């Protein structure tokens, strides 16, 4: 198409369009998520059961539950709130894993092999389930973003074929497997990001991962703690300036202080459960923590 040199209106439109495209690309680059650290098995030893005669609380999840310094996960702070002369607290959460990969890599099978009747499981996934399940950049982590029985066949990065299930399917499997072992599952919705809008935490996880987690708990007769909402409400009460030091990166992972804050929120939820009676194993350090009254929790049936 021929454009006259003197057509200033047309040229202004072109320049404006280029400015919009450049600005959009810059904003897109700025809102990328924090890195999701993947822990190398060769550099870590899974936590072990201290006394096989005692019931065990198994902690399962991703880097928001177990991180390398200077970051820290809430599962690493949880043990102090339990009397470990009466209960083992074993944190098997590991960075970079999703509801899908924790099962595909055989980690869940290893937990099940050691699990016994009377044990408890605290489980939280969602952060690494985001992304497209067949995107090589997602490193074979995302589940299907749904909760039904639909599947997708993909070729993994290593060339192997894999049947990928929905997030809800993987979560229901955790719940059913735990119940079959005579243990008690307590699901937790994913801890919120540090995303603010008009003085409120953005709860973009709520209508998907949070809902699917709650539905998996209901379907498998498990307990559920809406950790996302409990923490979001407490963040809002503190405000952005006081919340900022609780994060060790832009918006996702906690400092030691933030991990402790989140662990206390877990105990708020545990204390609000009528059944299971996990709170019978709480230590003196949990005495001052009040049961949450800010959001509903559901107990196992």
SS3 162: strand
Give residue-wise pLDDT tens across range 107-140.
999 999 999 999 999 999 999 999 999 999 999 9
Nearest to 124 by CA among 55, 225, 220: 225
Same domain, 28 and 123: no
Same domain, 9 and 110: no
Number of domains the chain is built from: 2
Residue 122: give its domain's CATH number: 3.40.50.1110
Same domain, 13 and 51: no
Same domain, 21 and 54: no
- How crowded is residue 84: how many other Cβ atoms within 10 Å of its Cβ? 15
Same domain, 9 and 75: no
pLDDT for 43 equals 63
Give residue-wise pLDDT tens across range 137-192.
999 999 999 999 999 999 999 999 999 999 999 999 999 999 999 999 999 999 99
Same domain, 176 and 54: yes
pLDDT for 26 equals 30
Query: Structure tokens of 150?
Result: 């639909």
Q: Which structural domain range is residue 11 located in? A: 1-32
∠ CA 253-211-122, nearest 5°, is 55
Q: Is-above-0.85 flag for pTM?
A: yes
CA atoms within 13 A on the CB side of 152: 17
Beta strand 223-225 with 297-298 is antiparallel
Same domain, 143 and 102: yes
Same domain, 167 and 153: yes
Same domain, 256 and 162: yes
One pLDDT digit (tens) per residue for the chain, 301 residues: 333 434 544 444 433 333 333 333 332 333 357 877 777 665 678 899 999 999 999 999 999 999 999 999 999 999 999 999 999 999 999 999 999 999 999 999 999 999 999 999 999 999 999 999 999 999 999 999 999 999 999 999 999 999 999 999 999 999 999 999 999 999 999 999 999 999 999 998 899 999 999 999 999 999 999 999 999 999 999 999 999 999 999 999 999 999 999 999 999 999 999 877 899 999 999 999 999 986 778 888 7
Same domain, 27 and 175: no
pLDDT for 260 equals 98
Same domain, 240 and 218: yes
Same domain, 28 and 51: no
pLDDT for 40 equals 65
Contact 74, 262 (CB under 8 A): yes
């Amino acid at each position: 198409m021929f454009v006259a040199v003197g057509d200033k209106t047309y040229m202004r439109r072109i320049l404006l369009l280029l400015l919009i495209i450049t600005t959009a690309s810059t904003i897109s680059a700025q809102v990328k998520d924090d890195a999701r650290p993947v822990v190398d098995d060769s550099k870590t030893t899974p936590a072990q059961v201290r006394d096989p005669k005692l019931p065990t609380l198994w902690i399962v999840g991703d880097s928001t539950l177990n991180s390398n310094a200077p970051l820290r996960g809430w599962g690493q702070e949880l043990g102090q709130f339990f009397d470990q002369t009466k209960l083992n607290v074993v944190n098997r959460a590991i960075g970079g894993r999703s509801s899908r990969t924790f099962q595909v890599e055989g980690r869940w099978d290893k937990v099940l092999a050691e699990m016994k009747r009377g044990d408890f499981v605290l489980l939280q996934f969602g952060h690494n389930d985001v992304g497209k399940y067949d995107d090589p950049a997602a490193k074979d982590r995302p589940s299907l973003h749904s909760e039904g029985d639909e599947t997708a066949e993909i070729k993994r990065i290593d060339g192997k074929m894999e049947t990928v299930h929905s997030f809800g399917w993987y979560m229901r499997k955790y719940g059913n497997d735990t119940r079959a072992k005579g243990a008690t599952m307590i699901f937790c919705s994913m801890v919120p990001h540090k995303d603010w809008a008009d003085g409120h935490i953005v709860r973009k996880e709520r209508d998907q991962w949070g809902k699917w987690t709650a539905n998996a708990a209901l379907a498998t007769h498990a307990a559920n703690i809406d950790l996302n909402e409990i923490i979001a409400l407490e963040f809002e009460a503190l405000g952005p300036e006081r919340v900022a030091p609780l994060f060790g990166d832009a918006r996702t992972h906690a400092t030691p202080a933030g991990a402790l804050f989140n662990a206390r929120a877990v105990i708020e939820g545990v204390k609000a459960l009528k059944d299971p009676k996990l709170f019978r194993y709480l230590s003196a350090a949990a005495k001052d923590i009040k049961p949450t009254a800010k959001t509903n929790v559901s107990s196992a049936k």
